[in-house]
Amino acid sequence: MALKRKSKQFKWHRKHLLGLRELSAEEITYILDTAEGFEQISTRSVKKAPPLRGKVVVNLFFEDSTRTRNSFALAANRLSADIIEFTKKTSSVSKGESLLDTARNLEALGIDIVVVRHNAGGAPKFLSRNINACVINAGDGFCEHPTQGLLDTYTIRKIKGSLEGLKIAIVGDIAHSRVARSDMWAMTKLGAEVIFVGPPTLMPAQVSQLPVKVSYCLDEVIEKVDVINMLRIQFERLGGNPFPSIREYSHYFGLTVERMKRAKPDILVMHPGPINRGLEIESEVADGRNSVILEQVTNGLAVRMAVLFLVNQAAVQKLKAKNLQCKS
């Protein structure tokens, strides 16, 4: 198989992955191309390779997570790094230790890469400015969840070949969704048209300034789109009454078997998980032939391995540049 390699001459230089907004199309493509090389590690007899041997990764999660946390842990393990698991509930954060103090103390233990999830937007950026380790954003507030954006984009590119010219609907609670934002940045940069779909109460305030189209009616867009990404209704984040009832939300914005009959036959159905079955998506659709929800999870592993590998390589390169400077 001839390998399509669009980004051969490109050099990756970022030792932090804070968001996709700041990345160029070329950088995003480079991560996705690199991830292709990591996919096979998970399919062979020894599911491990040595590039991060002797490196320490800390999973610094101030919010709950199943997929992202396990995916990063497994990705780090498969690259032979050692991993420290940190959760807010069982740590000294419950005694009042600040984010920076926590990170600095972990750094004093000799960590190389911090994977951080935090309910405050900008927390990963703050960390990256104050510690020497590489920082990877695993979700910050309502801002970004870059590895989810990358794995969604990777999944689409793998099946459709390219993002160029695709119409992609992201449906649901856009206002509270960092996934929607990271998806939007990655997908539009690679040439797709993104449509945010949801009730006005769940749209972000400044949505008109984002590079997307907006629709308040799923029935208007379902026939046109090549990909539909159904977001989870995040009950833990919803304040007030954004919609009159769950039943009404499902009626207007749920992806049902009935609605799917009007969609393109090769539409890709995505969901970042965890699924509220029967609410934003019917079980039959979530488990149906157009669904790539589990592929997203599998691809997430390859993408996260690629990101861990690349930020570490950038750190090595920076160290090399520093050594050269010292010599001269």
Partner 1 sequence: MKVILDSGQIEQVLTELTDCILSETPVELDIAVIGIRSRGEVLAQRLSGQLSQKLGKDVPCGTLDITLYRDDLNSPHVTAQPLVRTTEIGFNIDDKIIILVDDVLYTGRSARAAMDALIDLGRPKAIRLAVLVDRKGRELPIQADYAGYKADTSPGKLVQVNLVESDGKDEVVIE
Binding residues for partner 1, rule: CB under 8 A, are 1, 3, 5, 8, 11-12, 34, 36-41, 44-46, 48-51, 53-55, 79, 306, 309, 312-313, 316-317, 319-320, 323
Contact call for residues 85 and 76 (beta carbons, < 8 A): no
The number of angstroms, rounded, from the C-alpha of 254 to the middle of its chain's C-alpha atoms is 22
| Interatomic CA distance for residues 11 and 299, integer angstroms | 23
Contact call for residues 64 and 90 (beta carbons, < 8 A): no
Contact call for residues 229 and 169 (beta carbons, < 8 A): yes
Contact call for residues 112 and 133 (beta carbons, < 8 A): yes
Nearer to partner 1, 294 or 316 (CB): 316
| Interatomic CA distance for residues 224 and 231, integer angstroms | 19
Nearer to partner 1, 186 or 310 (CB): 310
Nearer to partner 1, 247 or 320 (CB): 320
Contact call for residues 227 and 204 (beta carbons, < 8 A): no
Phi, psi angle pair for 3, to nearest 5° = -90, 130
Rounded to the nearest whole angstrom, what is the least distance from the CB of residue 238 to partner 1 in the complex? 41
Nearer to partner 1, 82 or 85 (CB): 82
Rounded to the nearest whole angstrom, what is the least distance from the CB of residue 316 to partner 1 in the complex? 6
Rounded to the nearest whole angstrom, what is the least distance from the CB of residue 82 to partner 1 in the complex? 14
Nearer to partner 1, 81 or 233 (CB): 81
Rounded to the nearest whole angstrom, what is the least distance from the CB of residue 270 to partner 1 in the complex? 24
| Interatomic CA distance for residues 162 and 319, integer angstroms | 35
Give the CA diameter of the chain: 69
Can you spell out the DSSP letters for 176-197?
T-HHHHHHHHHHHHTT-EEEEE
Nearer to partner 1, 29 or 34 (CB): 34
Rounded to the nearest whole angstrom, what is the least distance from the CB of residue 21 to partner 1 in the complex? 24
Contact call for residues 177 and 231 (beta carbons, < 8 A): yes
Task: Say whether 216 sits in a helix, a strand or coil.
Answer: coil
Nearer to partner 1, 79 or 116 (CB): 79
Rounded to the nearest whole angstrom, what is the least distance from the CB of residue 46 to partner 1 in the complex? 4
Nearer to partner 1, 40 or 119 (CB): 40
Contact call for residues 187 and 148 (beta carbons, < 8 A): no
The number of angstroms, rounded, from the C-alpha of 291 to the middle of its chain's C-alpha atoms is 18
Rounded to the nearest whole angstrom, what is the least distance from the CB of residue 289 to partner 1 in the complex? 26
Rounded to the nearest whole angstrom, what is the least distance from the CB of residue 315 to partner 1 in the complex? 9
